């Protein structure tokens, strides 16, 4: 009995205590950083779900597609980084327009599950199209984003922190701030919030739903590009990049589908929880638990708050 319980209930906490503060801090920091990366993907989901009620499974593939396009332009045409980014943004905007015109304009008023399936089809399409256009070999993102351990933190308090993760965290912070300003202060942003609140009311004051949806897909494409660059720099641009969508899903249900702060906080909780579980409980469970642990963690939160931490309260009427 003791042998069975010890590695789960006592040893991890004892280890955490003896690891204080350095290794434990490193674990938490790297968890926070990983969480920020998850949030980047989750943000795209939230934006689209809020505005159009589409559960966009293609967000991960969108990130892959953006990263593939970026590296494709840089490798094949020798374009400098800034130009490639501008071109990719333009392509993502064009893609947003196409997606809205060709797919979702024809699926207005369908059941949510049909829309979800359509985004899965979209995911297949983009995955194949990206590979056909730019080849399926693993590519490297050469944007000069610093990598390796941060010397400054290593020398000072002796913490091992990846530079890339710091860059990602700062970028995410800038992105979220920019998005918040965009939503709060600009005309389009206000229209977007109106649409998120109530489609019919928004239409009745003269907001074009179609235009807003294109904008939302474009913004999601932009977020996907940032996520693609960060994940691509970390582990190369390849098919597995699209699987980060699966990492972002528990973040989403934990934070709530409709909440931007939820995506951020959820990302941090999942990131830190996952890292700690992996380091302290992983060995006792035989490792590789990161695939399902995030889901179980999110599920535990959901049992208490079925709409996620920051999701709108579900009010049901007959």
Partner 1 sequence: MFYRETGQYRTDYASDQQILNLPQDKWAMALLLAVAFLVVPLLINDYWANAILLPFLIYSMAALGLNILTGYCGQVSLGTGGFMAVGAYAAYKLMTAFPGLDLTIVVLFAGFVTAAVGTVFGLPSLRIKGFYLAVATLAAQFFLVWLFNKVPWFFNYSATGMISAPARTAFGLEVSGPQAPIWAKYLFCLTLVTVFALIAKNITRGRIGRMWMAIRDMDIAAELIGVRPLWSKLSAFAVSSFYVGMAGAMLFAVWLGAVEPTEAFGITVSFNVLFMVIIGGLGSILGSFLGAGFLVLLPILLKSVLVGGLAMTVATAKHVELVLLGSLIILFLIAEPHGLNRLWQITKEKLRLWPFPY
Structure tokens at 311: 């999701």
Query: Which range of residues in 71-79, 83-91, 217-225, 301-309 is near partner 1 by CB under 8 A?
Result: 301-309
Strand partners, 162: 149
Are 113 and 102 within 8 A, CB to CB?
no
Four-CA torsion 156, 281, 36, 62, nearest 10 degrees: 140
Determine if 120 is a binding residue for partner 1 (CB under 8 A).
yes
Smaller CB distance to partner 1: residue 247 or 275? 247
Determine if 286 is a binding residue for partner 1 (CB under 8 A).
yes
* CA torsion through residues 305, 306, 309, 310, sign: negative
CB of 127 to partner 1, least distance (A): 6
Smaller CB distance to partner 1: residue 106 or 187? 106
Q: Which of 131, 145, 189, 211 binds partner 1 (CB under 8 A)?
A: 131
Nearest to 276 by CA among 5, 1, 12, 89: 12
Are 91 and 266 within 8 A, CB to CB?
no
Q: Which of 41, 70, 122, 237 binds partner 1 (CB under 8 A)?
A: 122
Determine if 98 is a binding residue for partner 1 (CB under 8 A).
no
State the number of binding residues for partner 1 (CB under 8 A): 51
DSSP state letter for 149: B
Rounded CA gap, 29 and 10, in Å? 23
Smaller CB distance to partner 1: residue 194 or 246? 246
Token pair 């960060």: residue: 230
Q: Which of 112, 146, 157, 158 binds partner 1 (CB under 8 A)?
A: 112
Determine if 316 is a binding residue for partner 1 (CB under 8 A).
yes
Q: Which of 48, 62, 63, 123 binds partner 1 (CB under 8 A)?
A: 123
Determine if 132 is a binding residue for partner 1 (CB under 8 A).
yes
Smaller CB distance to partner 1: residue 14 or 107? 107
Rounded CA gap, 276 and 187, in Å? 43
Token pair 């494409």: residue: 221
Q: Which of 68, 73, 96, 118 binds partner 1 (CB under 8 A)?
A: 118
Nearest to 186 by CA among 212, 206, 222: 212
Q: Which of 16, 138, 209, 289 binds partner 1 (CB under 8 A)?
A: 289
Determine if 60 is a binding residue for partner 1 (CB under 8 A).
no
Strand partners, 237: 139
Are 312 and 258 within 8 A, CB to CB?
yes
Q: Which of 129, 175, 179, 188 binds partner 1 (CB under 8 A)?
A: 129
Interface pattern 233-262 for partner 1 (x via CB under 8 A): -------------x--xx-xx---x-----
Strand partners, 84: none
Smaller CB distance to partner 1: residue 280 or 293? 293
DSSP 58-74: THHHHHHHHHHHHHHHH
Nearest to 307 by CA among 246, 257, 248, 249: 257
Query: Which range of residues in 75-83, 126-134, 265-273, 276-284 is near partner 1 by CB under 8 A?
Result: 126-134
| Stated length of the chain | 318
Which residues contact partner 1 by CB under 8 A?
55, 103, 106-107, 110-114, 116-118, 120-129, 131-132, 136, 246, 249-250, 252-253, 257, 285-289, 291-292, 295-296, 298-299, 302-303, 306-308, 314, 316-318
């Amino acid at each position: 009995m003791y042998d069975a319980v010890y590695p789960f209930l006592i040893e991890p906490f004892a280890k955490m205590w003896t690891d204080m503060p350095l290794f434990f801090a490193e674990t938490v920091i790297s968890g926070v950083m990983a969480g920020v990366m998850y949030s980047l993907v989750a943000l795209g989901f939230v934006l689209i779900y809020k505005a159009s009620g589409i559960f966009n499974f293609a967000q991960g593939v969108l990130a892959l597609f953006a990263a593939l396009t970026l590296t494709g332009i840089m490798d094949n045409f020798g374009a400098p980084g800034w130009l490639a980014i501008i071109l990719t943004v333009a392509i993502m905007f064009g893609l947003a327009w196409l997606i809205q015109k060709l797919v979702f304009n024809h699926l207005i008023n369908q059941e949510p599950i049909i829309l979800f399936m359509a985004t899965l089809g979209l995911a297949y399409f983009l995955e194949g199209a990206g590979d056909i256009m730019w080849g399926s070999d693993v590519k490297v993102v050469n944007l000069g984003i610093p990598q390796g351990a941060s010397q400054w933190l290593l020398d000072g308090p002796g913490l091992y922190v990846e530079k890339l993760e710091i860059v990602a965290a700062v970028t995410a912070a800038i992105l979220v701030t920019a998005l918040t300003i965009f939503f709060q202060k600009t005309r389009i942003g206000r229209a977007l919030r109106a649409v998120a609140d109530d489609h019919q009311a928004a239409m009745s004051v003269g907001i074009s739903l179609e235009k807003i949806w294109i904008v939302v897909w474009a913004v999601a494409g932009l977020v996907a590009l940032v996520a693609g660059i960060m994940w691509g720099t970390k582990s190369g641009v390849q098919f597995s990049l699209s699987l980060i969508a699966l990492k972002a899903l528990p973040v989403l249900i934990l934070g709530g589908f409709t909440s931007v702060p939820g995506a951020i906080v959820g990302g941090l909780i999942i990131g830190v929880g996952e890292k700690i579980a992996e380091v302290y409980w992983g060995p006792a469970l035989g490792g590789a638990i990161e695939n399902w642990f995030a889901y179980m963690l999110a599920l535990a939160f959901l049992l208490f708050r079925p709409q996620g931490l920051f999701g709108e309260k579900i009010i049901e009427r007959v």
